[in-house]
Structure 1
Amino acid sequence: MDFSAVVRRRRMVRAFLPDPLSPSLIAQVLAPATRGPSAGHAQGVTLIVLDRGAQHDYWDTTLPPERRARFAWPGLLDAPVLVVVAVDPDAYVARYAEDDKAASGLGADTGAWPQPMWFVDGGMAVMAILYSAADAGLGACFFGVFDHEAPLRAALRVPNHIRLIGTVALGMADPARDRASMSTARPRRADVVRFGRWR
């Protein structure tokens, strides 16, 4: 598919068919996320892939059974694949402590970073997955883990220094149940793209 068509096609899908995805299709969709930009080539992004058999702890942690009856997007729970996007801040500190980056002053600790580039890199990996899913004809939805980060880290046996930035649900969209969330119109391009200065 032409890239501009992929960009136009991409949207958040919140209801999925439960049909499983083949391992080769999952690998195809995730491959671009492993080729994205990385600050200093720190390569601090990890993708934790959960098929249906591995999702029980995820949903029990982030959406306990007693809350599911009121959940606005029940079709989200049918996604055959969840991809938890994790980032390692220490990988960035270690990389910028190396000789060729030491002059930056970012190799002391995470507090030295005015902009935490691990979150930027994680966001770029998410965007790559969303575009790749659209290109493959799949539905996808990114959502945060919010206040469930620590218990989810424990449930998935993720080391404590790793940050979980969110989850991408993947699968075939269920058009009978999928509906858009409440949203405002996209801003005019002139209000988003500014040349030379803010105004």
Structure 2
Amino acid sequence: MEFQDVVRRRRMIRRYDPDRAVPPELVDRILDNATRAPSAGFSQGWGFLVLEGSDQVARFRDACTPAQDADRWFAANVEAPLVVVPHSNKSAYLDRYAEQDKGFTDRSDAWWPAPYWDIDTGFASLMMLLTAVDADLGACFFGIPVDRIDVFRDAFGVPAEFHPIGAVSIGYPDDPLQPGYREAVSRRRKSTDVVVHRGSWGEG
């Protein structure tokens, strides 16, 4: 598939064919491409928990279901043959930038202008979303309720230094476009004239 077609076709898919598993070779391709995302200092401070099949995904739902307002959270209702939970590891970045070629020996995070450990893991997540489209799959990035993160971590033995930034559901789409969907999206999408500022943001 041409790259522009991948970008154009990418959208969040929330319903999947329950009878079609994601083939192992596609799972491997998605994960391999995730590791090819850029990372500051080539720190690669990420880790991916892969959950396949109804039993593992049900455990994920159980761990991520809040006591109240469960219907508000896709994490508590997701039905997919594959869920990948990308985790960021801040310590990996502080360790990397305390090495001799970087020189921040105190491992302080005070000088970081943004949390690159989370940003880079977000890059890896986007690589998974795009790879899914290229493989004729659907995918959706969604959040985990903040008050369920410790429960999730305990349920799957996630080490303390790894923090889930969200999750990605993946499968064969069973989420057809409703009439007028693309037109509605086009109306909601901000134009480049609104969000792009060339040369300066404004006058002065």
CA contact (8 A) 2:144 2:167 kept: yes
Equivalent in the alignment of 1:192: 195
Q: Give the aligned residue type for 1:113.
A: W
The secondary structure found in structure 2 opposite 1:110 is: coil
Work out whether residues 15 and 177 of structure 1, in 8 Å CA contact, stay in contact via their aligned partners in 2. no
For 2:65, the aligned partner's letter is L
**Partner Cα distance (1:132, 1:115) in 2:** 26
State the 1:108 CA deviation. 1.6
1:59-70 to structure 2, matched below 5 A, reads 59-63=61-65, 70=71
Measure, in 1, the Cα distance between the counterparts of 2:8 and 2:105. Answer: 38
The corresponding residue for 1:139 is 138
Q: Distance between the aligned counterparts of 1:7 and 1:176, measured in 2?
A: 18
Partner of 2:159: 159
**Structure 1 residue 114 displacement after superposition:** 3.0
Question: Are 1:99 and 2:90 matched, yes or no?
Answer: no
RMSD of equivalent CA atoms: 2.8
Q: Where do residues 9-158 of structure 1 align in structure 2 (5 Å cutoff)?
A: 9-18=9-18, 19-52=20-53, 53-63=55-65, 70=71, 77-102=78-103, 105=104, 108-147=107-146, 148-158=148-158
C-alpha spacing 1:149/1:73, structure 2 compared with 1 (3 Å): closer
TM-score, scaled relative to structure 1 = 0.87
Segment of structure 1 superposing worse, 187-196 or 123-132: 187-196
Asked if 2 retains the 8 angstrom alpha-carbon contact of 1:13 and 1:178, the reply is: no
Aligned residue for 2:127, secondary structure, equals helix
- The Cα shift of 1:79 comes to 0.5
Question: How far 1:63 sits from its partner (Å)?
Answer: 2.1
Q: 1:55 aligns to what SS in structure 2? A: helix
CA contact (8 A) 2:17 2:173 kept: yes
Change (3 A) 1:106 1:35: farther
Question: Identity across aligned pairs (percent)?
Answer: 37
- State how far apart, in whole Å, the 2-side matches of 1:38 and 1:89 are: 12
Unaligned runs of 5+ in 2: none
Q: Hey, what's the Cα distance between the residues in 1 that align with 2:73 and 2:102?
A: 47
TM-score computed with the length of structure 2 as normaliser: 0.85
CA shift in 2, pair 1:178/1:139, >3 Å: farther
Over residues 74-124 of structure 1, what are the superposed CA-to-partner deviations in whole Å (9 max), with x where a residue is unaligned? 9x632100000001100000000000001xx37523344231100110110
